[in-house]
């Protein structure tokens, strides 16, 4: 990625994490050490910058957690590794987590960008569909099951951060939240 473009993205992430989506592009450009015109050379509109920031963070998340998951394993193990990986990423990258959560909940992303962001996690989606087909998950739409997972992971992240959990308490919070998820979506045989 071009050095200036990366500086702009990093400045936007920093400012969005501190001030929300209303940050003016002039402030982003100033923090990046570029002119406002240079910012618009890389991102024609603020929406383009927001979309690029979202995809940038989604890609980072996918690289941080997807590569460590064995997708030939049992679906319960796959989702447990996803659970630990995502929560671990969010707790060690609170700034980026704040921004991805903000962008996801603010409804300012274009549908195309949301779809592209999901594409980074297609292996997870495929594992969930496989689990539904194999009657290991309850018979609910895949995106609903994934939405429930995301909501519970976010609640766990917020709890861990608010209470500054570490060590055994951190692990216990993750394991307990995953067990709650399991009781809701897995079919025990």
Per-residue pLDDT tens over the stretch 121-178 = 999 999 999 999 999 888 899 889 989 999 999 999 999 999 999 999 999 999 999 9
Residue 134 carries which DSSP code? T
Q: Which two tokens stand for residue 12?
A: 């936007």
The CATH number corresponding to 1-44 among 1.10.10.60, 3.40.980.10, 1.10.540.10, 3.40.30.10 equals 1.10.10.60
What pTM was estimated for this model as a whole?
0.91
Mean pLDDT of 10-28: 96
The architecture in CATH of the region 46-185 reads: Orthogonal Bundle (1.10)
Mean pLDDT of 79-89: 96
**Separation of alpha carbons 174 and 157, rounded Å:** 9
Whether the per-residue pLDDT at 189 is higher than 90: the answer is no
HEC string for 167-181? HHHHHHHHHHHHHHH
| Residue-level pLDDT at 187 | 77
pLDDT tens-place string over residues 56-83 = 999 999 999 998 899 999 999 999 999 9
Distances (CA, A) of 158 to 154, 179, 189: 6, 17, 33
| Residue-level pLDDT at 1 | 59
| Residue-level pLDDT at 68 | 85
Residue 188, helix vs strand vs coil: coil
Residue 67 carries which DSSP code? G
Whether the per-residue pLDDT at 2 is higher than 90: the answer is no
Whether the per-residue pLDDT at 16 is higher than 70: the answer is yes
Q: Find, among 101, 3, 122, the residue nearest to 57 by Cα.
A: 101
Whether the per-residue pLDDT at 55 is higher than 90: the answer is yes
Whether the per-residue pLDDT at 92 is higher than 70: the answer is yes
Give domain limits for the chain.
1-44, 46-185
| Residue-level pLDDT at 77 | 93
| Residue-level pLDDT at 67 | 86
| Portion of the chain with pLDDT greater than 90, in percent | 85
Whether the per-residue pLDDT at 184 is higher than 90: the answer is no
| Residue-level pLDDT at 181 | 93
């Amino acid at each position: 990625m071009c050095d200036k473009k990366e500086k702009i993205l990093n400045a936007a992430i920093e400012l969005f994490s501190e001030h929300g989506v209303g940050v003016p592009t002039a402030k982003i450009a100033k923090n990046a050490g570029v002119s406002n015109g240079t910012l618009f050379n890389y991102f024609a509109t603020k929406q383009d910058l927001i979309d690029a920031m979202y995809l940038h963070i989604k890609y980072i998340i996918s690289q941080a957690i997807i590569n460590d998951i064995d997708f030939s394993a049992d679906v319960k193990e796959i989702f447990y590794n996803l659970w630990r990986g995502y929560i671990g990423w969010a707790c060690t990258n609170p700034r980026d987590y704040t921004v991805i959560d903000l962008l996801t909940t603010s409804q300012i992303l274009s549908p195309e960008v949301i779809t592209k962001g999901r594409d980074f996690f297609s292996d997870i989606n495929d594992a969930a569909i496989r689990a539904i087909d194999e009657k290991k998950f309850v018979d609910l739409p895949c995106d609903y099951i994934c939405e429930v997972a995301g909501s519970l992971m976010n609640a766990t992240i917020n709890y861990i951060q608010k209470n500054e959990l570490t060590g055994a308490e951190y692990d216990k919070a993750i394991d307990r939240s995953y067990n709650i998820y399991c009781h809701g979506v897995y079919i025990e045989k």
